[in-house]
Structure 1
C-alpha cells in the first residue's frame, strides 16, 4: 500500500509537471507586438491567430514611446517592435534594447530588394542587422491644381504669390526638406556638427522670411486636411497618405514628390533584446509581408509596405494616386532618413524655437 501511494504520488507529481509544461507552452504561444496604428489590423491579426494558433497582443505606440518602454525594461515586455529605421542604431548603442535579426529566418523574396538594402544599411551595427523593412512613406508636397505649376519643391512654398496660402509643420522634416531644396545635403553633414549648424542657419533664415506665406503651422493631420479641403490653403508640406486621401475625395488636390526629393521613412521590424517568443516574431514578419496581407495593412494604415507585389492588391483609386506621384525617377530620388546622431535633435529644436518666436 505504501508503494501504491508512492506510485500515485509520483504519477501526480509527473502529471503536475506535464500540466505546468503544457500551460507554459500555451503561454509561450503569444506574440507581444508594439507597433503603430494601422500596422496590425484586426482582420490581419485574426487570420494570423487562426493559421498559427499564436495569440497576438497589440500595443499601439510611436518611436519615443517604444524607446522609453524598452529602455525601462532593458528590452523586455515585447517580442516584436516597429521603430523607424533611423531610430535603431543610436538607440542600440546607448541602451542595448534590441537583438540582431537572423536574416536566414526572413523570407526576403517577399520584400522589395531596394528597401531591404536601405534598411540593412541604416540598421547595421558592428556587422549585424537590427531591422527589416515593414511600412514606408514620404513627406513631400500637397498642392491644389491652381498652384501646381508654381509649387514643385519645398522652397516654392515661399513664393510671394502664395502669401497666406501655405502650411507646414515646425518640425525637423521641414528643416531637412528646405535644406535639400536650397542645394544642401543635410544628411551628409550629420557627423559634422559645425557644418550642420551652418546649413540650419541658412534654413532658419529662409523659414523666417517665409512666415508671411504661412496661414498656420499645422500640428495635426485632421487640421491640415481641413485646411486643404476648404481651400483656406493651396499648398502644404505634408505626408503622402494625407495627399492621397484628399486626391480620392477631390482629384484637384494631389501629393507631389518634390524636385529635390521626397523625404522617406521606413518603419521596421526589430527584435527586443529580451523578447520571449522570437519564433512567433519571425512568423508574423513573414506572414504580413505576403502581398495580399500587406495590401490590407496598406488599406488600414494609408501607407505602402515593403512587400514585393503588395501594391497590386490595394484599392485601385489609391494605386492610381501612388502611380501619379511616384515615377521610377521620383522613387529613385527619395531621400531616406539615416540614423540621427546624438545631439542633432537638440540643435534642431533650438532652431525651430527661434523660427517660431521670430516676427
Structure 2
C-alpha cells in the first residue's frame, strides 16, 4: 500500500494536472465568438459589454449563406453565437443539426416586444424546441429616384422598357420571392409543395431573364449599389429600407417605397451553434443587447429597429419620420414576413438563379 506521504504527492500531482487542464477553459470563458452582420455590433457596445462582464467579443462578419456554410463545415463549431435570419434556422437545423436548443430560462424574455418574440419562437421551433429569438428586423423593397422614375411602384416596374440599363437587383432568393409576389402569386403558400414551388420559380426565372436587359448590374455589395443611386447611374433598385433612408437624407428625390405587392420583412435572430463553447457568454450578450439603452445604440448603428421593448426611444426622429412615410398603415399590414425555409427549397432556387446568371 502507498504511504500517506506518497498518497499526498499523488493527490497534489493530480490537482496540478487538473488545474493546468482547466486553464484554456477558463480563458475561453472570457471570450464570446460572435458570427454576425455588419453594423450590428458597434464598438461602443462591445466596449461597454466587456467593461461590465469582463468578456471579450471576437467578431466575424457574415451573411445567411456564409453562416450556414461555416457552421455546416464544422458541425456547428467555431462560434458561440450566430445571427441568422429567422427563416434560415429550421431548414438548416433539420438538415445539418448546426444549432442547439435555447434555454429560455436564461433569456430575459421580458425585455422583448412580446408579439415579435412569440412569432420568432414559433418560426424557429423544431420538434418542440426553440432555436432562435429576435434581434433586428427590417424590410426589403424598392428605392426609387422619384424624379427620374416616378412610375416605379412594384418590382415588375423595374422591367419597363424605358428603364433598360438603369436598374439593379441582387441575384439572390429575395428577388425570386419578390417577383413571384409581384406576379400575383404567393410563394410562401407553396413552401410545402416542392413541385409547385419549382414550377413557380421557373416562371419567375423566365421573367427575370427577360428583364436582364434592364439590369445595369446585379449588385454584390452595398457600396456599389448606393453609389449607383447617388450618381444617377441607377434610377431604381431593389434595396433594403435603411439604404433608401440613408440616400434620402442627402437626396430627397430618392425614396424607399413599399411595393404594391408588399415589402419583404425579415428578422435576424440570436441562435447558439451546436458546438459553441461559451453558452453563458452568449446568453449574457443576448440579454445585454435587449436592454433599451443598448438596443438604441445598436439601432443607430444598424439603422434598423430592434425587437427590444422600448428600444426605439433613442432612435433618430428623422428615421422615425422616414419609416412612417414609407409605411403608411396599409403598407405596414402588407409586409410579407419570411417564414422558415423548408429543406431543399434553396436548391430549387439556386438552379434558377444559375440559369438567370448564365442567360444572355
Pairwise same-fold verdict (TM > 0.5): yes
Q: CA deviation at 1:246?
A: 0.5
Q: Residue in 1 aligned with 2:201?
A: 200
Q: Residues of 2 paired with 1:12 and 1:355: CA distance?
A: 66
Cα distance in 2 for partners of 1:356, 1:282 equals: 41
Unaligned runs of 5+ residues in structure 1 are: none
**What corresponds to 1:230 in structure 2?**
231
Q: How does 1:259-270 map to 2 (within 5 A)?
A: 259-270=260-271
Do the aligned residues in 1 keep the contact of 2:116 with 2:307 (CA within 8 Å)?
Answer: yes
Q: 1:176 maps to what in 2?
A: 177
Match of 1:246 in 2: 247
Q: SS at the partner of 1:311?
A: coil
Asked whether the equivalents of residues 145 and 253 of structure 2 are also in contact (C-alpha less than 8 Å), the reply is yes
CA distance, structure 2, for counterparts of residue 204 and residue 66 of structure 1: 26
C-alpha displacement of 1:299? 2.5
Following superposition, the deviation at residue 129 of structure 1 comes to 0.6
TM-score scaled by length of structure 1: 0.89
Is 1:68 matched up with 2:69?
A: yes
Structure 2 CA distance for aligned equivalents of residues 204 and 275 of structure 1: 39
Greater shift after overlay, 337-346 or 280-289?
337-346
Does 1:292 find its partner at 2:296? no
Distance 1:143 1:300 in 2: 24
Find the residue that maps to 1:210 and give its secondary structure: helix
Query: In the superposition, relative to structure 1, how do residues 16 and 357 fare at CA in structure 2: closer, same or farther (>3 Å)?
Result: closer
Q: Give distance in 2, aligned partners of 1:68 and 1:355.
A: 23
**23 and 177 in structure 1: CA distance in 2 versus 1, 3 angstrom threshold:** closer
CA contact (8 A) 2:32 2:81 kept: yes
Q: Which residue of 1 aligns with 2:338?
A: 337
Cα pair distance change 1:61/1:202, threshold 3 Å = closer
2-structure distance, mates of 1:195, 1:11: 69
In the alignment, which residue of structure 2 is the partner of 1:135?
136
Contact 2:36-2:82 at 8 Å conserved across structures: yes
- Preserved contact between residue 33 and residue 78 of structure 1 (Cα < 8 Å): yes
1:251-300 deviation line (CA, Å, top 9, x unaligned): 11111111211112221111122223222211110111112212222232
- How many Å apart are 1:345 and its aligned residue? 2.4
Question: What per-residue deviation string (whole Å, max 9, x for no partner) do you get for residues 41-72 of structure 1?
Answer: 22111101111122222222232333333333
1:165 Cα shift?
A: 2.8
SS in 1 for 2:306: coil
Name the structure 1 match of 2:38. Answer: 37
1:338-357 deviations in whole A, cap 9, x for unaligned? 22233322322332333344
Structure 2 residue runs without a partner (length 5+): none
Quickly say closer, same or farther: Cα 1:94–1:5, change in 2 above 3 A. Answer: closer
Measured after TM superposition, the shift of residue 6 of structure 1 is 8.9
Relative distance call for 1:166 and 1:53 in structure 2 (3 A) is same
Q: Do the aligned partners of residues 161 and 148 (structure 1) sit closer, same or farther apart at CA in structure 2, a change above 3 Å counting?
A: closer
**What's 1:101 paired with?**
102
Deviates more, 1:234-243 or 1:73-82: 73-82
Q: Which residue of 1 aligns with 2:60?
A: 59
Q: Judge conservation of contact 1:143–1:256 (CA < 8 Å) in 2.
A: yes
Shift of 1:79: 1.8
Contact in 2 for aligned 1:248/1:318 (Cα 8 Å): no
Aligned-partner SS, 2:308: coil
Post-superposition shift, 1:323? 2.5
Distance 1:288 1:316 in 2: 21
Counterpart in the other structure of 1:121: 122
Partner residue in 1 for 2:79: 78
Q: TM (normalized to structure 2)?
A: 0.88
1:308 alignment partner in structure 2: 309
Distance 2:346 2:25 in 1: 44
Change (3 A) 1:203 1:95: closer
